[in-house]
Amino acid sequence: TLNATASRNAGRGWAAWQGNRQVAAWNPDVRSPSLSVTKSIAALATSRAVSEGWMSSSELVANTITEWRGDSRKSRITVLMLLQQVSGLEAGVIPLYRNHPSDKGAAAVALRCVDTPGTVFRYGPSHWEVLAELMKRKLSERRMSLATFMGRAVMNPIGLYQGNWRSDSQDTPYFSTGTELSVTELGRLGKIISRLLHGDSTKGFNPIRFAEVCRPSTTNPMFGGGLWRNTRASRPGVSSIQVERSIDDPKSSSFWRNACLSTRQPSGLVALIGSGGRRVYLWPGSDKRIARLGSSTSWNDSAFLGRLAQ
């Protein structure tokens, strides 16, 4: 059953929806850090900034982060490269997480660019914390903090609780991780993203702008803007992968071109993925979604999605 499958592997709560109707649930009010699901919230914020006209997905980051202007690699990084995680920056796990920087933006800006921008998908917080620093600087010119903007533009319209969001001592929220949400709130987030992917405007978000900032790269056609896509599921030779086990070290472009979330699910499936089995699965074409909170690295997307297809 769905309940038995979703509850395995240290599950804490889950729920399923068809349209606006919750069709099944177990502990839907349980709260937990959503970890990398936060990235999709950052993408929503970026799409809002693009819609408001003070940011562009194609702009050079160095236009605002002027410290990068003299660097031959960093000066080529665009906002979209950050959202696709192909900026070339080192992952930055130790400087940004384990060293607990008081100013994570400064720590992110100082990271090395180890790949030619646009050529390697490298998973890590670096891209997202540079994005946060970029938005913070742009917003300061508008006399607004990043935390205030996130509340106004994203969290409040969707109905997500902003408290307990991990921040540095500058009160700048982490974009790569850090929100704490309930299963019900994950469902609200999924509903907004699903409607946008279906081409519908909702809660002030523009589907064209959202598609722009979540466009996958040719380097990794599975990922863009915090969304993992099943786009290539029906292609010959493609196999399902465990995303959490495939991102520690950079993989070749051919690896990502021959990968999907599940060969037994439609190509329109999209997933928001956080460590330990934190998931939001979306089927925009049929307006279905499933949200889950868990805390086990043994969670298996392919197995779960395969059982749903039975």
Instruction: Specify the pLDDT at position 296.
Output: 86
Average pLDDT over residues 116-132: 98
The pLDDT tens digits of the residues spanning 148-199 come to 999 999 999 999 999 999 999 999 999 999 999 999 999 999 999 999 999 9
Q: How far apart are CA 225 and CA 84, in angstroms?
A: 6
Q: How far apart are CA 223 and CA 282, in angstroms?
A: 14
Q: How confident is the model at residue 309 (pLDDT cuts 50, 70, 90)?
A: confident
Q: What is the pTM of this model?
A: 0.97
The pLDDT tens digits of the residues spanning 49-107 come to 999 999 999 999 999 999 999 999 999 999 999 999 999 999 999 999 999 999 999 99
Instruction: Specify the pLDDT at position 1.
Output: 62
Q: How far apart are CA 186 and CA 181, in angstroms?
A: 6
